[in-house]
Structure 1
Amino acid sequence: MTDLNRLKQQISFCARGDLWEQVPRFLQDLHPADLAEIIADAPPEAQGPIFEQIDDELKPDVLVELEGAAEENVLRSLSSEEISDFVEDMAPDDAADILGEVEERSQEILELMEEEESGDVRELLQYEEDTAGGIMTTDFVAVRNTITAGEAVEYIASLELDEPFYYAYVVDREDRLVGWVELWDLLKPSNRNKRVVDLVEHDAIPVHVSTDQEEAARVAAKYDLSSLPVLDEENRLVGRITMDDLLDVIQEEASEDLFKFAGSNESELEYDSPLRACRARLPWLLITLATGFLSSVILKHFIAQITTAEVLSLSFFVPIIMAMGGNTGIQSSTLIIRGLAVGTVRNQKILKLLSREIIAGALMGICCGLIIGLWAKLMIDRTVTDAMAFSTFYLSFTVGIALFAAMSFAAVFGALAPILLDRSKADPAVASGPFVTASNDVIALIIYYLVTLLMLAMHG
């Protein structure tokens, strides 16, 4: 197996020494994905020159594998004529993705392409990037339902395809999807004279061009499909989404959600600039800081209500209450977001899920409330030495009740927030971001404040 790390070091040495004539020998016999990795890990100023050293036949495949800043740097180093030559050798969906990265030059590049290739790409560019139409390819096999299996085989043999396929779609005279047929069935000698309509499977599961890419990937995963037929507004078959694109969507959506959980975005992986990292994270941190201001105001009023030393000791447990409330909310929201992402959370299950989270939050609150109550009694017994207005048992009981209430509420709020966001067409992944986490902290503090005052008032 090729040692890519060693190759990267050797190429980096050649780049620093301006020894570009030595680079091609290090790039021989490598897979396009490995070549793309070498380019991506090279310094930005060397990425374009390294791409130039790759064999011309491999350049289109390597360009398809590139992402982010590396892709931008390489495309910036190429002329419009070079890009047009490369995209002509790509599958239509890959060519459309490349032109989407050079939008300001896309029309010029399309005019330089052969009419047949540019027509397919123009068709794909009309769809939104994150829809089924935006990720589909027009490179698919479809046969009429009126022809024989033998005629279908001859027709398929005449096609020039860039993408692999394992079955042919079957359409009627208006190009509406009828179903699909396995190539194996078409090739059987006993089926040569049978009409395709007699061999067709009618359980094809299509999506429309406007379907969100995440929903399309969910459909493919649910029904174990290696490719997904795509229909236009008139239910005509216009393309298919291949497995490699479906996997890319799943990875992209998962990465996007993870970055939202952290209050950042994927650009941090693509760029080295500290300013870009700051721009990605700072807005969320400022929101968190604002909720911190609110927490400080609440805590100030909390302490102002408490004058005796033993009651002041209740402030020792503020960090625990806030942390447990925040973490309980994160657990609930993460589970719900996962359910929404894979489609297991449906309308009829929402009330059941909320009921489960209420009970689970209460049970966890009881367990943790008992534990913190015992710990609070131990702490307060060792701290308070003056004559006490309240018993240490009552104070520890107050802490336990407050934690129980905070965790119970956080479990429900954490489950409800992503559901409400999803219903309002917002991204539910935001529910596990710093904003909702900080909100849980503030709510937990308010609950602790109110429960403490209520319990002390009842004792008085």
Structure 2
Amino acid sequence: MSDVNRIKERINFCIKGELWEQIPKFFEELHPADIAEIINHAPASSYKQLFEMLGDEIKPDVLAELDDKVEADILDELTDEEISDIVEEMAPDDAADVLGELEDEQREDILGLMEEEESDEVRELLQYDEETAGGIMTPDFVAVQADMTAAEATDFIGSLDLDEPVYYAYVVDSKGRLTGWIQLWELLKHGNRNQTLADLAESETISVHTDADQEEVARLASKYDLSALPVLDWQHKLVGRITMDDIMDVMEDEASEDIFKLAGSSESELEYTSALHASKSRLPWLLITLTTGFFSVLLLNSYHAYLSFSHAIILGAFVPVILAMGGNTGIQSSTLVIRGIALGTAHTKNIPKILLHEITAGAIMGAICGIVFGLYALFVIGREETAFGPPYLALTVGSALFSAMAFAAVFGAVVPVILNRMRIDPAVASGPFVTSSNDILALLIYYGVTFLMISLRS
């Protein structure tokens, strides 16, 4: 076990035993992220007490790492003056995230207590939607003029009071418009000292505008393996940059959001323990599924009216398997397409290829499962005395399962594409919609094949 884990165990022991006086010395040995993790998992009644044990110099870093619910609880216990002292020491983007969760009146009071330079930076960020490039960027960046020489740029960068290490600088023109970027080691080369940055800089720059969705930001950073992205306004002026830590946070948030949406829930369930809140989050999609269940019951009743009692009994025994296999196949297909949409690989020109792939995969899986299921019906169920002859029973259930799975694979792929074209988040609706619809369609297919086989037999 690492030293960090040992320290965490000791702190958790002290929390349980209310040995508060021993905790500060352990906090001194931990990274702010580790301290935040401890507070996040501590009893809610101890949030404020644990936070107050921290030194003033580390409070901003810990606050930035806390879960939203824990952060909100701690802020509720602090005065406006205490909050302003903390956020002044935070990175502007982190400070904007903290203040963005407060009520407008309290936010303005805190901004008024801050130094003018810091408050202006935070105000600038607060004007952007929190899930856009502008909302997650930091205004802290290094920009050098294109007409500078490498020697002049090196002296300029050396004169700056930087809080974070810098590995490259952005090159701008006289109006602040981005023209390129340059790595610091290029500036330090002896042969480059008298050359202008306009000649040395890389002009191929991947950038985003302030209103770009954070998901697009994460996609670009992943595609081009970037550690940071410059952010431009609509005049092409450089106004900020998005760093790797923020990009990683976006990736985690988007992945978590999609997982919750696929389950018909939301991330807010992680922040609240109320069963009522959990029910409120999950119930709408369950009610939609229940509604489609009504249609399934009506279909079953309608079909049974046209079947003899003996036929209805033996055929009804296979319904759960047909529904389950069709539903699972549809979810598999829709999940792959949703992932492609999220990663930007499911472009319009790729849709025919994707559908052909799913048709083929569905047909192969359906054929294999249909044959296995048909043989089961023939040799296991067929041994019993049934009104439906074993060969016809095997052919019916095997064909129905093949058809249901092949159709479900295509349907599961098509639905996310259509929802995305309609500007509806496919991760929200695809899971419940595909599962529920596949149940109805699988029943239609199953009994359609059944009546066809009965008519052929007769």
TM range, normalised to the smaller chain? over 0.9
- Is 1:52 matched with 2:56? no
SS in structure 1 opposite 2:231? strand
Could you tell me whether the CA contact under 8 Å between 2:415 and 2:430 is conserved in 1?
A: no
SS in structure 1 opposite 2:239? strand
Residue in 2 that maps onto 1:221: 222
Write the mapping of 1:22-171 to structure 2, written as runs, cut at 5 A. 22-104=22-104, 105-171=106-172
The offset of 1:103, in angstroms, is 3.3
CA distance in 1, matches of 2:286, 2:429: 15
Could you tell me whether the CA contact under 8 Å between 1:311 and 1:395 is conserved in 2?
A: no
The offset of 1:452, in angstroms, is 1.4
Task: Point out where structure 1 has 5 or more consecutive residues left out of the alignment.
Answer: none
State which of 14, 17, 21 in structure 2 corresponds to 1:13.
Answer: 17
CA distance in 1, matches of 2:258, 2:103: 27
AA partner of residue 9 (structure 2):
N
Structure 1, residues 359-409: CA drift from partner, whole Å, max 9, x if none?
211121111111111111234423325xx4x53211221111111111111
CA distance in 1, matches of 2:165, 2:303: 67
Judged with a 3 Å threshold, the aligned counterparts in structure 2 of structure 1 residues 393 and 456 are, in CA distance, closer, same or farther, namely same
Residue in 1 that maps onto 2:317: 316
CA distance in 2, matches of 1:272, 1:6: 26
Q: Percent identity?
A: 58
Write the mapping of 1:243-254 to structure 2, written as runs, cut at 5 A. 243-254=244-255
AA partner of residue 45 (structure 1):
S
SS in structure 1 opposite 2:71? helix
Residue in 2 that maps onto 1:430: 428
Structure 1, residues 317-343: CA drift from partner, whole Å, max 9, x if none?
000000000010011111111111111
- Is 1:330 matched with 2:331? yes
Structure 1, residues 108-162: CA drift from partner, whole Å, max 9, x if none?
1111111111111111111111111110110001101011111111211222233
The offset of 1:310, in angstroms, is 4.3
CA distance in 2, matches of 1:283, 1:347: 31
Residue in 1 that maps onto 2:452: 454
Residue in 2 that maps onto 1:402: 400
AA partner of residue 8 (structure 1):
N
Could you tell me whether the CA contact under 8 Å between 1:48 and 1:77 is conserved in 2?
A: yes
Could you tell me whether the CA contact under 8 Å between 1:139 and 1:163 is conserved in 2?
A: no
Could you tell me whether the CA contact under 8 Å between 1:306 and 1:312 is conserved in 2?
A: no
SS in structure 2 opposite 1:433? helix
CA distance in 2, matches of 1:95, 1:147: 33
CA distance in 2, matches of 1:303, 1:152: 83
- Is 1:416 matched with 2:417? no
AA partner of residue 198 (structure 1):
D
AA partner of residue 426 (structure 1):
I
- Is 1:179 matched with 2:180? yes
AA partner of residue 400 (structure 2):
A
AA partner of residue 10 (structure 2):
R
Could you tell me whether the CA contact under 8 Å between 1:333 and 1:431 is conserved in 2?
A: no
SS in structure 2 opposite 1:147? coil
TM-score by length of 2: 0.95
Residue in 2 that maps onto 1:369: 370
Judged with a 3 Å threshold, the aligned counterparts in structure 2 of structure 1 residues 347 and 70 are, in CA distance, closer, same or farther, namely same
Could you tell me whether the CA contact under 8 Å between 1:337 and 1:418 is conserved in 2?
A: yes
CA distance in 2, matches of 1:354, 1:110: 53
Task: Point out where structure 2 has 5 or more consecutive residues left out of the alignment.
Answer: none
Could you tell me whether the CA contact under 8 Å between 2:327 and 2:439 is conserved in 1?
A: yes
Q: How many residues are treated as equivalent by the alignment? A: 453
The offset of 1:458, in angstroms, is 3.4
CA distance in 2, matches of 1:213, 1:118: 24
Residue in 1 that maps onto 2:274: 273
Structure 1, residues 400-445: CA drift from partner, whole Å, max 9, x if none?
1111111111001100111111111111212542332122122212
The offset of 1:311, in angstroms, is 5.3
Residue in 1 that maps onto 2:289: 288
Write the mapping of 1:370-385 to structure 2, written as runs, cut at 5 A. 370-384=371-385
The offset of 1:170, in angstroms, is 0.3
SS in structure 1 opposite 2:17? helix
